[in-house]
């Protein structure tokens, strides 16, 4: 199952979740109405002289009672769910902070947190998604982690202090790769919606306990009026636990299979089953395992491991089964011996395993369209190593600046500086005019310290700077985007990277502020927007070939993948290619996931058709995929 099939499955899971939620609400309403009927509906029934029962118990007379109970129950559930959903619009960072998470600073000097940030950045760059916010749950000594958010742009990854202290780098990499699988495959959005929906059901348990507590005062007075109150309190408490039953059942049904899939994806990410396998083994052998001190009822389905010892409807498969899925020959008896030697053994084997591990041969080349499609959502070890090499090749000054909230905007401006000295001076003056002289001085300092940035480093640097940019206020970000536009226009033309930077930053910042309004896929088919798809393929073909006949051949090859008829490719029709993309890509973003897969395969076919991939082609492919919510992995041009 690939990225696009996961997107379709996520959409189907959401519809299934809504149906189950509605059925749970109906069941709870039925129990509430039955309780009301037992307490109030028979209150006036009397025994007659002939031995029969008679009284005011009439169906029509109890309709207002039952209707009122149904309305009150659904209102409480609906309002509570709505309240929680609105509260979660702050994105993944809100969930992490509510659990006591501490944001990992971009320039942290703590070696464990620096290692965590490096691992997250490597996998993020390899996956083609913005670097998420990173949190540490300082009070939690168990080994656990989670990813939360509506979209990759507002995602947050959190790990416990125990995970930082007890896991080696390869094990931590396996855990983070597992969480990135949830980010890329749409699980986060389902999990956030599940939190909001289930809060409305679970809140009844809280109300029931509170009413039951206060009912003690009624019983102490021995008042006859206290009996109905006690019955109502007991009924609401029972209903609350019925809701808890349904909530745990829904969470277990949604999350258990997804945990197996995320474990498998983590192995695909890292090509190291002993990484995530080692993390699961350590959870099994440490006394505190993955358990957490805080209340994990709401987020139990989001965690890497079980958050508590609750066994009924567990949201995660048993640890031994998870390990055996990754390492088929593992036996539970081995845990006793592993508990004694796992710490020292992992340190000794780490370097040797990295040298010995090799990617299996594939029948297709590394830049074959099908290989790239298969790598979306689960980049292989080569991509991660490539991302690590890119990050290692960056100047330390630039990396520190990208991680700094104060310098991150200037890093973005630095990536846009033109090689031509005259144009560069115009750009620096534009920075001073829009952002002030201090900002201009900082950009000049970066240029003087590190020299002009290499083309392949521009996008990774911007993605590293994204978490710091998100912390700036909206007014500042608006001014930043205006400055980016001014720098792009300094030479009276917009190149591919300038277009990419302006559009992707604007999109990601908007999505980070409005995660609830983002839709990563739609319901449209390519047949309904074939002209938009052909326009994108034509623009890619023109940027990749200087000769018209080569561009036409590449264009037709991509159109053949979509099974679309092509006309003559007129360069004059696409001179304003940026405007054409601005119109076409938002519409193509509404395609179904399976239709997006076809479109991406067609675009890749165009790019690699002549076996000579230019940087502009790769950047244009990247921006097209970004704007239709497809995270393209790190790519390099074939030699």
Short-list 508, 460, 452, CA closest to 635 = 460
Neighbours of 341 (CB within 10 A): 10
SS3 468: helix
Question: ∠ CA(509), CA(510), CA(515), 5° rounding?
Answer: 105
Neighbours of 483 (CB within 10 A): 21
Distance (Å, whole) CA 212 – CA 242: 16
Q: How many angstroms separate the Cα of 213 from the Cα of each of 63, 202, 231, 290?
A: 30, 18, 12, 33
Q: DSSP secondary structure string, 116-145? A: HHHHHHHHHHHHTSPPPEEEEETT--S--E
Short-list 425, 545, 569, CA closest to 490 = 425
Distance (Å, whole) CA 62 – CA 378: 58
Distance (Å, whole) CA 147 – CA 528: 35
Question: ∠ CA(246), CA(248), CA(252), 5° rounding?
Answer: 115
Burial class (CB in 10 A: 0-12, 13-18, 19+), 540: buried
Backbone angles phi, psi at 332, to 5 degrees: -60, -30
Distance (Å, whole) CA 325 – CA 139: 31
Distance (Å, whole) CA 284 – CA 336: 10
Look up 179 and say whether it is catalytic.
yes
Distance (Å, whole) CA 616 – CA 603: 14
Q: Identify the active-site residue in 121, 140, 179, 617.
A: 179
The helix (run of H) or strand (run of E) holding residue 505 is: helix 496-513
Neighbours of 249 (CB within 10 A): 14
The helix (run of H) or strand (run of E) holding residue 376 is: none
SS3 362: coil
Query: Catalytic residue positions?
Result: 179
């Amino acid at each position: 199952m690939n990225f696009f099939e996961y997107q379709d499955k996520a959409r189907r899971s959401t519809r299934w979740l809504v149906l189950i939620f509605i059925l749970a609400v109906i069941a709870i309403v039925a129990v509430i109405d039955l309780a009301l009927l037992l307490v109030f509906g028979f209150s006036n029934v009397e025994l007659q002289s002939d031995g029969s029962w008679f009284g005011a118990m009439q169906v029509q007379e109890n309709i207002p009672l039952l209707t009122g109970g149904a309305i009150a129950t659904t209102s409480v559930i609906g309002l509570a769910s709505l309240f929680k959903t609105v509260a979660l619009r702050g994105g993944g960072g809100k969930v992490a902070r509510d659990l006591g998470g501490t944001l990992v600073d971009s320039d942290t000097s703590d070696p464990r947190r620096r290692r965590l940030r490096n691992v997250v950045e490597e996998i993020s760059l390899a996956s083609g998604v913005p670097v998420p916010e990173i949190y540490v749950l300082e009070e939690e000594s168990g080994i656990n982690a989670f990813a939360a958010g509506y979209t990759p742009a507002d995602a947050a990854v959190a790990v416990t202090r125990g995970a930082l202290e007890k896991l080696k780098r390869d094990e931590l990499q396996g855990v983070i790769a597992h969480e990135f699988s949830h980010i890329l495959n749409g699980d986060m959005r389902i999990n956030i919606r599940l939190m909001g929906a289930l809060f409305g059901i679970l809140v009844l348990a809280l109300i029931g306990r509170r009413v039951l507590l206060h009912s003690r005062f009624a019983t102490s007075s021995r008042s006859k009026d206290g009996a109905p109150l006690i019955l109502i309190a007991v009924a609401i408490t029972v209903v609350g636990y019925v809701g808890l039953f349904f909530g745990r059942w829904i969470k277990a049904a949604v999350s258990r299979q997804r945990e197996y899939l995320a474990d498998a994806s983590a192995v695909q990410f890292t090509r190291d089953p002993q990484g995530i396998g080692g993390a699961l083994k350590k959870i099994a052998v440490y006394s505190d395992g993955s358990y957490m001190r805080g209340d994990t009822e709401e987020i139990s389905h989001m965690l890497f491991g079980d958050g508590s010892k609750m066994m009924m409807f567990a949201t995660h498969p048993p640890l031994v089964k998870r390990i055996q899925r990754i390492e088929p020959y593992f036996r539970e008896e081995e845990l006793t011996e592993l508990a004694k030697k796992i710490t020292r053994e992992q340190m000794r084997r780490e370097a040797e395993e990295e040298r010995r591990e090799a990617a299996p041969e594939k029948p297709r080349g590394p830049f074959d369209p099908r290989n790239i499609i298969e790598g979306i959502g689960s980049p292989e070890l080569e991509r991660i190593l490539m991302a690590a090499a890119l990050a290692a090749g960056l100047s330390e000054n630039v990396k520190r600046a990208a991680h700094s909230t104060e310098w991150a905007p200037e890093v973005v401006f630095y990536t846009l500086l033109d090689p031509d000295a005259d144009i560069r001076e115009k750009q620096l003056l534009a920075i001073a005019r829009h952002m002030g002289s201090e900002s201009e001085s900082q950009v000049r300092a970066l240029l003087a310290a590190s020299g002009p940035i290499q083309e392949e480093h521009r996008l990774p640097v911007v993605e590293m700077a994204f978490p710091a940019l998100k912390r700036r206020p909206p007014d500042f970000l608006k001014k930043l985007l205006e400055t980016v536009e001014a720098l792009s226009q300094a030479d009276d033309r917009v190149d591919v990277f300038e277009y990419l930077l302006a559009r992707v930053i604007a999109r990601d910042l908007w999505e980070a502020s409005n995660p609830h309004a983002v839709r990563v896929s739609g319901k449209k088919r390519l047949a309904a927007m074939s002209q938009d798809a052909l326009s994108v393929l034509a623009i890619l073909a023109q940027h990749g070939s200087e000769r018209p006949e080569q561009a036409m051949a590449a264009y037709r090859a991509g159109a053949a993948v979509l099974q679309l008829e092509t006309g003559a490719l007129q360069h004059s029709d696409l001179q304003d290619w940026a405007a054409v993309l601005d119109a076409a890509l938002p519409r193509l973003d509404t395609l179904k996931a399976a239709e997006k897969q076809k479109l991406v395969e067609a675009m890749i076919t165009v790019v690699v058709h002549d076996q000579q991939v230019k940087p502009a082609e790769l950047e244009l492919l990247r921006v097209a995929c970004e704007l239709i919510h497809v995270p393209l992995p790190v790519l390099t041009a074939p030699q």
